Structure 1
């Protein structure tokens, strides 16, 4: 049976609201939660971007059961990998073992703010691989020094280290990232239900490891309102990730999506209150072999109605998927 998760979407709600939302998700019976880690929203209409790690710390204290996870953190430009290791170890202690560290090669949208430029895609993957190796070394305990192609670490040590370090997930989109995930990751992360990604992950050592997907949805008893909201806040999601990773800010995404129509969104995002529409949107992930699927309810002010409906209607229907 596939596990169904809830997404704390930092781009569409403030920090206190995000914590309230994940408390509600735990109460509703979601199996796990994930958190985006952004410095900017994709579009101005989303309107938020609080610091994800502060939100996670508060969420760890406000909840008691639901697992927490970054989806995903970029450990290469805005954050140094040694600092990511410290944050993740602390989160594992605060959550009493409920944290997983999801990592990816990042987007210019969030990483450009430190002013060091945005590397080419192949360089970003090299940086991600080296970063994961540094984080794993620090998780093993003791002092770590590293002088690599992209990072230097001088005599670092995690003084508050959990007995079981957080599992590391790696986001994938192609063969090279699948190789990194299979070899260095404890789980794989993807935003598209592509079986070929999971096959490549398995070929590089991923067999038997969890595989986590994510799907935007827009629940509303008024379907037209749901479509309008999804188009206003999430039309960026229909773009190609090779483009999305390069654009530097919300204005770029507004320009790139100027010709995306509401009907285009209807094809990509389940909208309204028909439970079968939502189930059929999740099914491709299950058929592809994903073991977990995190849902993103679009609209920061529309979480509680979704959580109520999910508890009573959607989650029972999704639990029938095999």
Structure 2
């Protein structure tokens, strides 16, 4: 099984027109798929952007021809009602001619607090996500839906424009309990840690299809800070991506960019460089990505840190990097 390699349209670090241009460049560079973050805030103020992901993806669907597209990830429970997600996903799938996968997760306080509905405990967030997936699946049948659940209500809703095939759903999980809950509800696994136990637990589920890279996929993501000057690449990664050191247990609950800045004030550039490959060495990047395919991930999306570096990365580094990744993983 040869893994596929993707490019991240990171809405936190670029504006909408630039993101569409990067999407075209990533397709030209040879990436297999593109994932898009869906944020209301950047993680840190230094990143400086947060355009509406669904508008960006609609434009990208028309501007590209080959690459598969995916939200990585959308929270369908607080900022968006699941009935609205069902409509958006169906429309985007039509625009993308079947290239879209709906990636879902339980969200972060950073983005969901803005509508004034509070931030539930993790167990409630998980239950809300499961109920939301049920609503989305039901609406994608095209039937008129009335629903009364523990968290959501749907009154006589119908999605009128549906693609020929239901929109596949990937769900972000972080442990075996998440797989127990969401494995039976999802088509694909999403995770940001190269943990082989996640793949094993998923494949052991009687209600899930085996991850094989064809029907069912395991989709991971890793940040990199490529650049011709290693010191500048480290500085950029520290300035814009040191939030990554907090781990998802912390990241999910912080409320503002100021909170992330305070939580990471003692993270040093050396700390960041020890966790994120920085600089011009493409082989170092290959080695950093390798644990994902060794763990059994079928799809791995790269995040190139720094909005101002994307054109240079896609032009000067990405084609050769993809060649090396494919050679090393085949």
**TM-score range relative to shorter protein:** over 0.9
Q: Residue 92 of structure 1 aligns with which residue?
A: 93
1:165 aligns with 2:172: no
**Matching residue within 226, 229, 232 for 1:225:** 232
**SS at structure 1 position matched to 2:290:** helix
- TM-score, normalising length: structure 1: 0.98
**Residue 77 of structure 1: CA displacement?**
0.4
Q: Determine the C-alpha separation between the residues in 1 that align with 2:261 and 2:6.
A: 28
**SS at structure 1 position matched to 2:155:** strand
Q: Determine the C-alpha separation between the residues in 2 that align with 1:112 and 1:206.
A: 35
Q: Residue 307 of structure 1 aligns with which residue?
A: 314
1:234 aligns with 2:237: no
Q: Residue 103 of structure 1 aligns with which residue?
A: 104
Q: Deviations over 1:64-101 (max 9, x none)?
A: 11111000000000000000000000000001111000
Alpha-carbon spacing, 1:12–1:280, altered in 2? closer, same or farther (3 Å): same
Structure 2: give runs of 5+ residues left out of the alignment.
Answer: none
1:35-114 correspondence runs (5 A): 35-114=36-115
Contact 2:30–2:319 (Cα < 8 Å) also in 1: no
1:10-29 correspondence runs (5 A): 10-29=11-30
Q: Residue 288 of structure 2 aligns with which residue?
A: 281
**Matching residue within 256, 259, 280 for 2:266:** 259
**Residue 175 of structure 1: CA displacement?**
2.4
Contact 1:28–1:310 (Cα < 8 Å) also in 2: no
Q: Deviations over 1:41-65 (max 9, x none)?
A: 0000000000000000011111111
**Residue 34 of structure 1: CA displacement?**
0.1
**SS at structure 1 position matched to 2:183:** helix
**Residue 14 of structure 1: CA displacement?**
0.3
Contact 1:101–1:166 (Cα < 8 Å) also in 2: yes
Which stretch of structure 1 is more off in the superposition, 7-16 or 192-201? 192-201
**SS at structure 2 position matched to 1:127:** helix
**Residue 196 of structure 1: CA displacement?**
1.5
Q: Deviations over 1:159-201 (max 9, x none)?
A: 0001112210000112232123310111010011011122222
Q: Determine the C-alpha separation between the residues in 1 that align with 2:318 and 2:224.
A: 15
Q: Determine the C-alpha separation between the residues in 1 that align with 2:21 and 2:182.
A: 32
**Matching residue within 270, 275, 290 for 1:268:** 275
Q: Residue 153 of structure 1 aligns with which residue?
A: 154
Q: Determine the C-alpha separation between the residues in 2 that align with 1:145 and 1:51.
A: 29
Q: Residue 325 of structure 2 aligns with which residue?
A: 318
Contact 1:170–1:180 (Cα < 8 Å) also in 2: no
**Matching residue within 209, 212, 225 for 2:219:** 212
Q: Determine the C-alpha separation between the residues in 1 that align with 2:94 and 2:38.
A: 20
Q: Residue 9 of structure 2 aligns with which residue?
A: 8
**SS at structure 2 position matched to 1:11:** helix
Q: Determine the C-alpha separation between the residues in 1 that align with 2:271 and 2:219.
A: 25
- TM-score, normalising length: structure 2: 0.96
Q: Determine the C-alpha separation between the residues in 2 that align with 1:312 and 1:32.
A: 14
Contact 2:191–2:219 (Cα < 8 Å) also in 1: yes
Q: Deviations over 1:258-278 (max 9, x none)?
A: 000111111110111111100
Q: Determine the C-alpha separation between the residues in 2 that align with 1:186 and 1:117.
A: 30
Structure 1: give runs of 5+ residues left out of the alignment.
Answer: none
Cα root mean square deviation, aligned? 0.9
